Homo-oligomer: A and B are copies of this chain.
């Protein structure tokens, strides 16, 4: 039995938002309320670790129950996130100072790889200092590239939206009565092709050749210009139009991003992507005479489309939030909640998940690539095995309430907790 630990809980969100990151927050708040003997106050840190450094803390227990319930269907990240990378020792020291000042004993960090790395370091420092703290990571990334967990909350909703969009655009393409047309959809995925692959759920059966998308390009396979042009031509010989879904992170044979502006880097030093769709459009029109192409780029819309979220995904996001609180109260620390797919009653065709825990170190800074075994021999198609994996993740509709014809999303009051420390300058 773990030692009883009494104090306050702090939850924060980090990295890019997802359609369900607020559902995880709702799960944390809802569950934390159940442990009044252990958890006195339920605090939220604004803007991830950056806000914690600046002691920007709000009282989440003061939010209305109505608001907390509505969080599960609200996109964005109501606490705010950051892409600030904690590197300096003084930053980590400051985090523990803030925790001590507010008697934070439970720290839950909802985020992706980089965030779980930060959580691991905070946990290590607390142990080193002998500061009693339980740190649990809550997985979140639309990219689905966290290792250890079967899949990541956020992913199911994004591919539901992407697949619905592919199906809808394909109906438009079909209607246009125009042959030799290429439709290109650029989707997110800097390092991995999970999102692009998810678009194949638009097919009525995963392996159906005639249904869109016809070509799927993942960053896991280096882009081969000639093979691509040949594949497009091959599709156009049999189909009315050719539908291409491409990950933003496609690499040319030399390992450079296709259509990326190499001069722009994000704060982690990754290049800012976003030109693959237009690049492919130009390539097609220049290499195939008489062929017309159009590209669309969903951009941030795809990770914010809560109006088209997966109910399964929303429920799992809530579940991992709850599980994180349960684990922390039970004495766990330095772990991330993971989703484990189970055979239900020995029936492999019935989808069921349970939560588990994995060491933060095993998650941090590693990337789960799209399995090579699920990529077709042509390097531009997705095998049926993926359909079995991904189909359950998009099941069920989470429809937000509508007001005046538009989705009505939650807003938090954000009642500030009084500062107890001197201000801190993160730029130093």
Contacts and interface: CB of A to CB of B under 8 A. Distances in A.
A310 B310 CA distance: 21
A294 B292 CA distance: 26
Contacts of A201: 405-406
Nearest to A74: B171
A381 interface: no
A275 B277 CA distance: 12
A284 to B, nearest CB: 12
B307 A300 contact: no
Contacts of A77: 172, 175
B307 A183 contact: no
A177 B51 contact: yes
B405 A169 contact: no
Copies in the complex: 2
Interface in A258-289: 264, 272, 274-275, 278, 285
B297 A168 contact: no
Given A168-B305, A177-B82, A295 B274 contact: yes
A391 B409 contact: no
A304 interface: yes
Nearest to A186: B297
The residue among A51, A272, A304 with the most chain B CB atoms within 10 A of its own CB is A304
Contacts of A51: 177
Interface in A295-310: 295-301, 303-308, 310
Interface range for A = 35 or more
A183 B76 CA distance: 14
Interface string A134-166: 000000000000000000000000001001110
A241 to B, nearest CB: 11
A247 to B, nearest CB: 16
A407 B307 contact: no
A167 interface: yes
Interface string A175-205: 1111000010100000000000000011000
Interface string A77-92: 1111111000000000
Contacts of A168: 75-76, 301, 304-307, 407, 409
A298 B301 contact: yes
Interface stretch (A225-233, A395-403, A419-427): A395-403
B171 A75 contact: yes
Contact of A175 (B80, B301, B306): B80
A404 B298 CA distance: 23
A264 B397 CA distance: 41
A17 B79 CA distance: 40
Interface in A120-138: none
29 contacts: A17-B176, A51-B177, A75-B171, A76-B168, A76-B174, A76-B175, A80-B176, A81-B177, A82-B178, A163-B405, A164-B307, A164-B406, A165-B304, A168-B306, A168-B407, A172-B300, A183-B300, A201-B406, A264-B285, A272-B292, A272-B294, A278-B278, A295-B297, A296-B297, A297-B297, A297-B299, A394-B404, A397-B402, A399-B399
Given A17-B172, A76-B171, A296-B297, 20 more contacts: A17-B171, A74-B171, A75-B172, A80-B176, A80-B177, A81-B175, A82-B176, A82-B177, A163-B406, A164-B307, A167-B406, A167-B407, A168-B409, A171-B409, A183-B300, A272-B292, A307-B308, A391-B404, A394-B405, A397-B405
Interface of A: 13, 16-17, 46-48, 50-51, 74-83, 160, 163-165, 167-169, 171-178, 183, 185, 201-202, 264, 272, 274-275, 278, 285, 292, 294-301, 303-308, 310, 391, 394-397, 399, 402, 404-407, 409
- What 3 A-B pairs are tightest by C-beta distance, nearest first? A296-B299, A76-B171, A394-B405
